[in-house]
Structure 1
Amino acid sequence: MHSSSDPSAMSLDPRPAPDLPLTPHRSSPTPTRRTAKLGLLLALASAVAFGGSGTAAKPLIEAGLSPTHTVWLRVAGAALVLLPVAWKHRDAVLRRPGLLIGFGLLAVAGVQACYFAAISRIPVGVALLIEYLGPPLLLAYVRLVQRRPVSRRAMAGAGVAVAGLALVVEVWHGLSFDPIGVLFALGAACCQVGYFVLADAGREGERPVDPLAVSAYGLLIGAILLTTFARPWNADWSLLAHSVTMNGHHLPALVPALWMILVATVLAYLTGVVSVQYLSPPVAGVVANLEAVVATVLAWVLLGEHLGTPQLAGGALVLAGAFAAQSAAATKH
């Protein structure tokens, strides 16, 4: 989400889902121990990279760059870097235009805009933990909209995640965090449902689309959509020539900006997609769940956003519930 927080982990940063093969036209080979280790390292790198998106973005927002301009900078910068990938897979535009537009609208623009709006009002860790309600919401979509059966284990995991959310936001205090920020985080979780549905649709039918193409064009279309909404020409981009404050320390604004584009988006996407080639979907999904942990720890260390015991306990329940729901659904599939 990223936002964010990679799809494969139900993190709302829009990345290809872990059950998508890198090349849809052929099945992935059975992973050996060596390739599995490589896939694990790539998946870990992706989770760490995605987890740093909010920590890199928040100093820019606090320096005066609006959340919409910040997310535009992230998406547009990543889309520019991935233009060669989009050109290589340009045939995807003719084969599945609706899929790419929907992915750009929900999985990129929607997720990232809601997530960045959320972190401008509530702590990064809290926003990402709320975003991890994506798995329970996805189960609700499958059960109520698609009318498909859902296992009891998955339903139990969804219930645990919702209980964890109550602890994260401390509902007994009438929401100890900004309610609007919480709503934005929930919006990111809802957009994540669209991400999973569209990512799964990309490999179905007679005209499957390579996940690399979905990622590249999703970012490109998301950047175009965000341009009309964010109006970046009205932003004060001179802020990037000055310094920002991160937990009391000053650093050039270009440092978190470039980190957000190159590491938290481009590197995170590419390593996440390639890791799927070497790992089974359940393993890739479990590793991606570390994104929320990484984001919370980085925000704690670099931004000084300390969470209390109830938030930490609630976060553990959210992650445990999301993992249970996701692994149950993956096993059944």
Structure 2
Amino acid sequence: MASRALLLLILGAALIGLVPIGVRMCADQPYLIAPLAVAFWRFAFAVPPLLAWNRWRQRSVDAPARPWLLACAGLLFGCDIACFFVAITRTSVANATLLSNLAPLVVAAWSTVVERRPPTRGETGGALLAIAGVVLLVAPEARLEGGAHVVGIALALASAVFYGGYQIAVAHLRRDQPADRVMTVVAAVAALVLAPIALIGGGNLVPDHAGGWGLLIALAVLTQIGGQGLITWSLAHLAPIFSSVVLLVQPVVAIVLAWLLFDQHLGWMQGAGAVMVMLGIVLAHRGRSAT
């Protein structure tokens, strides 16, 4: 079961790597959708099919167990997305990507301090190696900036804290709740969180071209239902710290796809970073398996 969960977690993380590609496509001509609006529609369009799936499975989402933790997971995820999307407007995309991917450190700190389950040496080494790989992935675009960008840096760090908290909450929820119920409530709450933020953020809330609706629906199906669905299912079968390291596959996929689709430069440094992320995952897996 653990091997299957690992494969599905990697696949889910790869699908989430489509998010920045989808956001860029939505923001470009002819659709011109504001990034925060894309984030909102990603969750909003995922809710109806998830509700239908729950009804078909004869599961009620009206009075779930531990509703406060379900709501908290959705709140954390919505805040994570909001902070990251605003951060990329206040600092470089590379800086925001790097800092928001420090979530494994948040999960490790929680596991050590609160749950008294410190990571193994292998997990620690794997996490540090994978994070170093992310540093190389974004290094060509990252830069030190002046005080005007402090807000962007702070929001990116907040995104990492929120995403780490979301992973911890979902891992706890999956001990006694089905993945589809968790996904449904999380998507609904996150959409509610993002709706006012998207309105305040300005820009187009709806696409300028009808084809944009299809793109938004595809993004919801592939990334939220598909990607987050696989991740949510897998978190019931894998340790949170290790899972958090595996999720660093996301920026690797995003950068490779940007190279393939948008002809963005992919140099030796990004290639080395991608290899380091993969080696970090292997090291963390061996460290977990050895315990």
When the two structures are superposed, what TM-score results if normalisation uses the length of structure 2? 0.75
Q: CA deviation at 1:100?
A: 0.7
Q: How does 1:141-152 map to 2 (within 5 A)?
A: 141-152=110-121
Q: Is the 8 A contact 1:114 1:187 kept in 2?
A: yes
Q: CA deviation at 1:142?
A: 1.8
CA distance in 1, matches of 2:140, 2:85: 23
Q: CA deviation at 1:61?
A: 3.2
CA distance in 1, matches of 2:201, 2:150: 30
Q: CA deviation at 1:128?
A: 5.2
CA distance in 1, matches of 2:169, 2:229: 19
CA distance in 1, matches of 2:62, 2:283: 34
CA distance in 1, matches of 2:46, 2:68: 21
Greater displacement, 75-84 / 161-170: 161-170
Structure 2 unmatched runs, 5+: none
Residue by residue over 1:141-198, the C-alpha shift from the partner in whole angstroms, topping out at 9 and shown as x without a partner, is 222344433322222233324434543454998538x776565444332222112211
Q: Is the 8 A contact 2:19 2:223 kept in 1?
A: yes
Classify 1:167/1:239 alpha carbon distance in 2 versus 1 (closer, same or farther; 3 Å).
same
Determine the structure 2 residue equivalent to 1:219. 187
Q: Which amino acid in 2 is paired with 1:239?
A: P
Classify 1:129/1:321 alpha carbon distance in 2 versus 1 (closer, same or farther; 3 Å).
farther
CA distance in 2, matches of 1:329, 1:169: 28
Determine the structure 2 residue equivalent to 1:324. 283
Q: How does 1:133-172 map to 2 (within 5 A)?
A: 133-170=102-139
Q: 1:231 aligns with which of 178, 195, 199?
A: 199
Q: Is the 8 A contact 1:133 1:161 kept in 2?
A: no
Residue by residue over 1:311-331, the C-alpha shift from the partner in whole angstroms, topping out at 9 and shown as x without a partner, is 443343345335534653476
CA distance in 1, matches of 2:155, 2:43: 18
Structure 1 unmatched runs, 5+: 1-27, 243-251
RMSD: 4.0
Q: CA deviation at 1:260?
A: 1.0
Q: Which amino acid in 1 is paired with 2:120?
A: S
CA distance in 1, matches of 2:201, 2:160: 29
CA distance in 2, matches of 1:174, 1:294: 22
CA distance in 1, matches of 2:6, 2:172: 25
Q: Is the 8 A contact 1:129 1:318 kept in 2?
A: no
Q: Which amino acid in 1 is paired with 2:187?
A: L
Q: Is the 8 A contact 2:79 2:193 kept in 1?
A: no
The number of residues matched between the two structures is 281
* Identity over aligned pairs, percent: 26
Q: How does 1:1-333 map to 2 (within 5 A)?
A: 45-62=11-28, 64-87=32-55, 88-90=58-60, 93-106=63-76, 108-118=77-87, 122-123=92-93, 130-170=99-139, 174-175=143-144, 183-204=154-175, 208-231=176-199, 236-241=204-209, 252-272=211-231, 281=238, 290-321=249-280, 323-325=282-284, 328-329=287-288, 332=291
Classify 1:315/1:111 alpha carbon distance in 2 versus 1 (closer, same or farther; 3 Å).
farther
Structure having the larger proportion of residues in helix: 2
Greater displacement, 143-152 / 287-296: 287-296
Residue by residue over 1:28-63, the C-alpha shift from the partner in whole angstroms, topping out at 9 and shown as x without a partner, is 7x99xxxx6xx7886665344322121011232355
Q: Which amino acid in 2 is paired with 1:263?
A: L
Classify 1:300/1:114 alpha carbon distance in 2 versus 1 (closer, same or farther; 3 Å).
farther
Q: Which amino acid in 2 is paired with 1:256?
A: L
CA distance in 2, matches of 1:71, 1:296: 19
Q: CA deviation at 1:225?
A: 2.0
Q: CA deviation at 1:134?
A: 2.1
Look up the SS of the partner of 2:119 in the other structure. Answer: coil
